[in-house]
Amino acid sequence: MSDCPFCKIASGQIPARLLHDDDQCVAFADINPQAPFHALVIPRRHLTTLNELTAADEPLVGHLLRVAAEVARAGGVAEKGWRASFNTNRDGGQVVFHVHLHVLGGRQMGWPPG
Ligand code: AMP
Ligand code: ZN
């Protein structure tokens, strides 16, 4: 998607502080962190929301979660704890319409989320 900011990060057209990079996904620091540690893990392939996932995407989603755990460990928050969140559409609080996994840590998370 030519006008998608996260496609542009994945292709290097927009700079980001990269934390992980492989053939399926990219992880980078969130530009407006909501916790002391806040990263995003995105598939390289443009997917608008989780609503469009098919059975063929199951390995990809598992990979995103494993990379999230790696990124949390590298960020020093794995043992104390962290939150993984996919926001979907308006009620889910989604603003950028390219699937992304939030990885938040470094403070106590609230529950339920606001
Ligand atoms: P969401 O509300 O789930 O769509 O979250 C989108 C997230 O993307 C927000 O936390 C933003 O701060 C973050 N974000 C938007 N643009 C960029 C960017 N260019 N680099 C890093 N993070 C970004
Ligand atoms: Zn995209």
pLDDT tens per residue across span 7-55: 999 999 999 999 999 999 999 999 999 999 999 999 999 999 999 999 9
Annotated catalytic residue: which of 38, 98, 100, 102? 100
Task: Identify whether 66 is part of a domain.
Answer: yes
Atom nearest to 86 CA in ligand 1: 3
Q: What's the pLDDT at 18?
A: 98
pLDDT score of 2 more than 90: no
Domain count, the chain: 1
Task: Tell me the CA–centroid distance for residue 59 and ligand 1, in Å.
Answer: 24
CATH number at residue 10: 3.30.428.10
Name the β-bridge partners of 104: 38, 83
Task: Identify whether 83 is part of a domain.
Answer: yes
Task: Identify whether 112 is part of a domain.
Answer: no
Spatial distance between the Cα atoms of 79 and 46, rounded to a whole number of angstroms: 32
pLDDT score of 73 more than 90: yes
Task: Identify whether 87 is part of a domain.
Answer: yes
How does DSSP classify residue 60?
H
Print the domain residue range for 41.
5-105
Amino acid at 53: L
Task: Identify whether 114 is part of a domain.
Answer: no
| Residue 100 among the catalytic residues | yes
Q: pLDDT > 70: what percent of the chain?
A: 100
Task: Identify whether 113 is part of a domain.
Answer: no
Model confidence at 67, pLDDT cuts 50, 70, 90, reads very high
Task: Tell me the CA–centroid distance for residue 80 and ligand 2, in Å.
Answer: 32
Q: What's the pLDDT at 109?
A: 97
Task: Identify whether 91 is part of a domain.
Answer: yes
Mean pLDDT across the chain, nearest whole number? Answer: 97
Q: What's the pLDDT at 59?
A: 98
User: Ligand 1 pocket check: which of 7, 31, 104 to mutate, most ligand atoms within 8 Å of Cβ?
Assistant: 31
Residue 75 to residues 12, 19, 24, 110, 113, Cα–Cα distance (Å): 22, 9, 21, 20, 22
Task: Tell me the CA–centroid distance for residue 78 and ligand 1, in Å.
Answer: 22
Spatial distance between the Cα atoms of 34 and 93, rounded to a whole number of angstroms: 13
